[in-house]
Amino acid sequence: MKTCKIESRTCSFPVTVVLVVLCLLLVLVMSDQSFETVNTTSSWSSNGMLLYSPRSGKSIPGKKWTDKLLAPFRSFMGARAYDPWRYFMSVKRRQVNERRSLSSPSGFYSSSIPAEFDARLRWPNCPTIGEIFEQGSCASCWAVAPTDVMSDRICIHSGSRHIVRLSAGNLLSCCKLCGKGCKGGFPGGAWMHWSKHGIVTGGSYSSDYGCQKYQFFPCYQPRTKGSIKNKCPKTDNTLLECRETCRTSYNKSYKQDLYYGESVYRIPNDARAIQLEIMENGPVQANLRIYEDFLHYKFGVYRHVHGQGLEYHAVKIFGWGTEGGTPYWLAANPWSKRWGNGGFFKILRGSNHAEIEDHVMAGIPKLDLVDEEEHFNLI
């Protein structure tokens, strides 16, 4: 059998094939770690990357990005659906088919887009739009962000007749299409669950509102300036047992309390399409790639500068504007009110920055059943 070494010139064809394969593998690896090129000098040191504030331009002396420092943040990130490697390794066939059934709306609306828009001001009688629901130590952003948007849209499409908060805890426990509970999930599955099975109402851990409250108390673990000092407990997935009953003091049955989606869909990767959807129907749910510098965002328009990509994370987009000539999306992050600007942040708009425009989802609530139920109760 003829053999050859890589450095041999007598077997150029096999060597070429090997080199091409190696190059392709290198491109795949590098593409997952690509960064935006920005001219900075103060954020790097000879012995590692410093913790860096992208807005103030100041590094945190003596701190480096390590697994120990990053670990507390990882529990807050759980949108697994669009990590290409995890997608192929984690999604079952049924989930793929369900996710593909998410479709874009049939048409968009011919209207001018204002330079600035804030859904909190457009629909002031819908208070959930401006709330930050804290997910705690459970990586449940895939459930919290969609239920935030669903709650907003129920209020908007009912003309403020139905001001409710759908239970992220109920979705977290009962969605069979959504992944691994507090270990991450699929936002697309959350939207499909709303449409097919419905979601009951429920407030935060300390709230007595609704049918089923959230199971995890607010906990912002990272030991940065301004963070609370209590340590987040270890998340226990045994708390995620699906129960089709409401708390004993609630005045509705589980089935009576269910809210459904009339339609669910994915918005095209186009800033104008996303803006028109928000103007017409309310906030939308988006996924973004989390980089290390995002963890310490405080104010201004976020633009990824330094650090490796970590996980994908689900957030709510509810507006846009321009700051210093830079277009931005206005969004809510369910980590904590202590993070960012009271839980809110601005991120570069129109260039799919951190992949935030790639997978934007929304839906229209089904309100006829709710109105019929209320009418029946009045008779």
φ/ψ (deg, to 5) at 134: -85, 125
* Domains (range + CATH), the chain: 72-103+116-121+129-378 (3.90.70.10)
What is the pLDDT tens value at each position of the chain, 379 positions in all? 332 322 333 444 454 555 555 655 554 544 444 333 233 222 222 222 222 223 333 333 334 444 444 444 444 455 443 333 232 222 222 333 333 344 455 454 546 899 999 999 999 999 999 999 988 888 899 999 999 999 999 999 999 999 999 999 999 999 988 988 888 899 999 999 999 999 999 998 878 899 999 988 787 655 444 444 556 666 666 668 899 999 999 999 999 999 999 999 999 999 999 999 999 999 999 999 999 999 999 999 999 999 999 889 999 999 999 999 999 999 999 998 989 999 999 999 999 999 999 999 999 999 986 665 553 443 3
Quick one: pLDDT at residue 169?
A: 94
Set 193, 296, 313, 359: catalytic member: 313
Question: Catalytic site residue 141?
Answer: yes
pLDDT at 66: 44
Instruction: Tell me how far apart the terminal alpha carbons of the chain are, to the nearest angstrom.
Output: 90
Q: Which of 258, 288, 294 is nearest to 361 (CA)?
A: 288
74: tokens are 């990882």
Q: Which of 373, 363, 297 is nearest to 54 (CA)?
A: 297
Q: Which residues contact 125 (CB under 8 A, 6 or more apart)?
A: 155, 160, 163
Catalytic residue among 126, 141, 155, 211: 141
Q: 333 an active-site residue? A: yes
Output the pLDDT for position 177: 82
Catalytic: 242? no
CB 60 within 8 A of CB 50: yes
Residue among 170, 281, 287, 333 flagged as catalytic: 333
Residue 322, Cα to own-chain centre: how many angstroms? Answer: 22
Angle CA 287–291–230, to nearest 5: 95
Within 8 A by CB and 6+ apart from 117, the residues are 275, 278, 279, 319, 320, 321
Q: What confidence score (pLDDT) does residue 183 get?
A: 86
